[in-house]
Every structure is written in structure tokens, then in C-alpha cells.
């Protein structure tokens, strides 16, 4: 296991009208290759801010961030991002949305046929071959999110970053996509960082759960190692004592030690 993403003493300050606002402080985290990390915390704790930092969408005010030994200076194709609200371009079909990413990463080295093949494969991976030529407004929310995942995966990223990817979906669709994500992560050996506010989702999917303290000036409160064998099955885990222990630990952190006075 090699450290793939390194975050050292990162601090993020936003300049607001009321003066500087410290969103994150003293963030230290090493993410190993192939690891599945969940970032959990109450809303406003800066978990999305941390994800955006890893994505390179914003740069830290202080501290160092490395990905594969190189400083993160901006977004890069080795870090695929799945956005909270799918962020598909409405004027492009599902195929074209994914193709845009494929073309950017592999366009210079590969032929058009090969780019199209990659796009088909990415959509097949999330089970959307039948909806390739539909526009985003013609498909369901769960399908849109899957296209978003396919777009991120099609770039063959080393790290997959997901910002509350299933937050807007109904419970059944969410469970289905969680299972698919587990399968895809196992197949592609991806390193995954996922922001979530769902305790079950965090325990089910991750190897480590990074629990954040409340903002402002949020930091990592505790890191929980989830030592459950893979592949994991949600039905079997429902009666697993260890699973409930982990779940209890996260709930304890969120609702006893970090309970917000007014939220």
C-alpha cells in the first residue's frame, strides 16, 4: 500500500465580506492506493471543501497537497470528479457527455474508433448502454448520476472523487448505485474519496471513515478503520455485530460528540 494522496497541514481560508473565514485547519490525511475513504460530518463542516481541494478546483491557503508525489496545482485527468447534482450538459446526449471527457484525456493518442469504444465501455460499466443517445432530461435522476460516474470513470482516473453522489436519490436507487459503485471500485482498483452524510453508506462502502468536526475551522476529528471483508453484502451485514459496532461509533461521534447546538 502506497500513499497516493498526501494532505499535510492544510488550511483553507475564504475571504468573505465579513472578513476571513477559516473553513478548514490542520488537515493531515494520507490516502493509500486502492483505498475507499468516506468523508463524513454535519453540513457546513467543510467536507466538500476538502474534496474540492483534492480535485484541484480550489487551492489551499496553506499546507501541501500531493497526488502521486506531485503537487496538486489544479484539476487533472488522474482525479475524476462526480458532482452532487450530476452536472451533465443538457444539450449533449449521454454518449456525448462522456465522449467529451474521453476525447480530452485520450484524444491526442488514440483514434476516433478507440475513443468511441472507450465511451461505450464506460456507459456499459454503469449499465446505460440502452440510454446512450438520450438527453439528460429524458432519463431519471439515478441514471443521470450514473452517467456522471461513467464520465468520471471514462478518464481512467487514479482517484475517483465523489461529492455526495447519491444524496438526491431515493433510498432504493441509492442502495442499487452503492452496490454498483462497490463493484466498479473493486473491478477498477480505484482509489475513492467520497463525501457523504449517510452513516450506513459510509460504513458499507469504505475502508476508512474520516469524521470531521463542526465548522468553522473544521478539522479531522477521528478516523475509523472499517475492517469488514470484501466483497460486502448489505443483507449479510445487516445482522453483523461488527458492522453495527462501526455504525454505532460513527453515530456516537456525529450525534453525541459533535452535535450542533442549533441545526
User: Residues in contact with another protein, total (CB under 8 A)?
Assistant: 21
Q: Which is nearer to another protein, 42 or 79 (CB)?
A: 79
Range in contact with another protein (rule: CB under 8 A) among 98-106, 118-126, 173-181, 225-233: 98-106
Residue 139 found at the interface with another protein (CB under 8 A) = no
Q: Under the criterion CB under 8 A, does residue 76 sit at the interface with another protein?
A: yes
Asked whether position 92 contacts another protein by CB under 8 A, the answer is yes
Q: Which stretch binds another protein (CB under 8 A): 6-14, 30-38, 90-98, 233-241?
A: 90-98
DSSP bridge partners of 32: 3
3-state secondary structure of 128: coil
Check binding of 83 to another protein (CB under 8 A). yes
With the CA atoms of 122, 125, 131 and 137 taken in that order, what torsion angle do they form, in degrees rounded to the nearest 10?
-80
Q: CB nearer to another protein: give 155 or 211.
A: 155
Task: State yes or no: residue 91 binds another protein (CB under 8 A).
Answer: yes
Output 76 or 215, the one with its CB closest to another protein.
76
**With binding defined as CB under 8 A, does residue 155 bind another protein?**
yes
- d(CA 164, CA 110) in angstroms, rounded, equals 33
Q: Which of 23, 40, 45, 55 binds another protein (CB under 8 A)?
A: 55
For the chain, the farthest-separated pair of C-alpha atoms sits apart, in whole angstroms, at 58
What is the grid cell recorded at 119? 465511451
19: left (phi over 0), alpha (psi -120 to 50) or beta: left
Which of 73, 26, 77, 2 minimizes the C-alpha distance to 218? 26
Cβ atoms 178, 211 nearer than 8 A: no
Q: Which of residues 108-137 bind another protein (CB under 8 A)?
A: 137
The Cα 236–Cα 223 span in angstroms is 24
Identify whether the C-beta of residue 216 lies closer than 8 Å to the C-beta of residue 21: yes
Instruction: Write out the three cell numbers for 149.
Output: 460516474
In the shown chain, the binding pattern of residues 223 to 252 toward another protein, with x for contact by CB under 8 A and - for none, equals ------------------------------
Q: Should residue 89 be labelled a site residue for another protein when binding is judged by CB under 8 A?
A: yes
**Angle formed by the axes of helices 94-106 and 112-125, nearest 10°:** 130
Nearer to another protein, 79 or 146 (CB): 79
Residue 256 touches another protein, criterion: CB under 8 A: no
Which residues, 6 or more positions from 46, have their beta carbon under 8 angstroms from its beta carbon? Answer: 12, 23, 24, 212, 215, 218
Q: Does 77 bind another protein (CB under 8 A)?
A: yes
Residue from 13, 57, 168, 217 binding another protein (CB under 8 A): 57
Q: Between 92 and 217, whose beta carbon lies closer to another protein?
A: 92
Q: Is 165 in the site for another protein (CB under 8 A)?
A: no
Binding site for another protein (CB under 8 A): 55, 57, 74-77, 79-81, 83, 85, 87, 89-92, 100-101, 104, 137, 155
Amino acid at each position: 500500500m502506497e500513499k497516493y494522496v498526501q494532505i499535510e497541514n492544510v488550511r483553507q481560508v475564504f475571504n468573505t465580506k465579513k472578513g476571513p473565514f477559516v473553513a478548514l485547519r490542520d488537515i493531515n490525511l494520507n490516502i493509500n492506493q486502492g483505498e475507499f475513504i468516506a468523508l463524513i460530518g454535519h453540513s457546513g463542516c467543510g467536507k466538500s471543501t476538502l474534496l474540492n481541494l483534492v480535485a484541484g478546483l480550489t487551492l489551499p491557503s496553506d499546507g501541501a497537497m500531493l497526488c502521486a508525489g506531485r503537487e496538486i496545482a489544479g484539476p487533472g485527468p488522474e482525479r475524476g470528479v462526480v458532482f452532487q447534482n450530476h452536472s451533465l450538459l443538457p444539450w449533449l446526449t449521454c454518449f456525448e457527455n462522456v465522449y467529451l471527457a474521453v476525447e480530452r484525456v485520450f484524444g491526442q493518442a488514440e483514434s476516433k474508433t478507440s475513443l468511441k469504444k472507450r465511451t461505450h465501455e464506460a456507459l456499459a460499466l454503469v449499465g446505460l448502454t440502452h440510454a446512450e443517445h438520450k438527453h439528460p432530461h429524458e432519463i431519471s435522476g439515478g441514471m443521470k448520476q450514473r452517467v456522471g460516474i461513467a464520465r468520471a470513470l471514462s478518464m481512467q482516473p487514479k482517484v475517483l472523487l465523489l461529492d455526495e453522489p447519491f444524496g438526491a436519490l431515493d433510498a432504493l436507487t441509492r442502495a442499487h448505485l452503492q452496490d454498483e459503485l462497490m463493484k466498479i471500485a473493486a473491478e477498477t482498483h480505484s482509489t475513492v474519496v467520497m463525501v457523504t452524510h449517510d452513516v450506513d453508506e459510509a460504513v458499507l462502502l469504505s475502508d476508512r471513515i474520516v469524521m470531521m468536526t463542526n465548522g468553522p475551522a473544521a478539522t479531522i476529528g477521528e478516523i475509523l478503520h472499517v475492517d469488514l471483508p470484501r466483497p460486502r453484502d448489505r443483507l449479510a451485514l445487516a445482522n453483523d455485530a461488527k458492522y453495527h459496532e462501526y455504525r454505532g461509533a460513527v453515530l456516537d461521534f456525529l450525534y453525541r460528540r459533535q452535535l450542533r447546538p442549533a441545526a
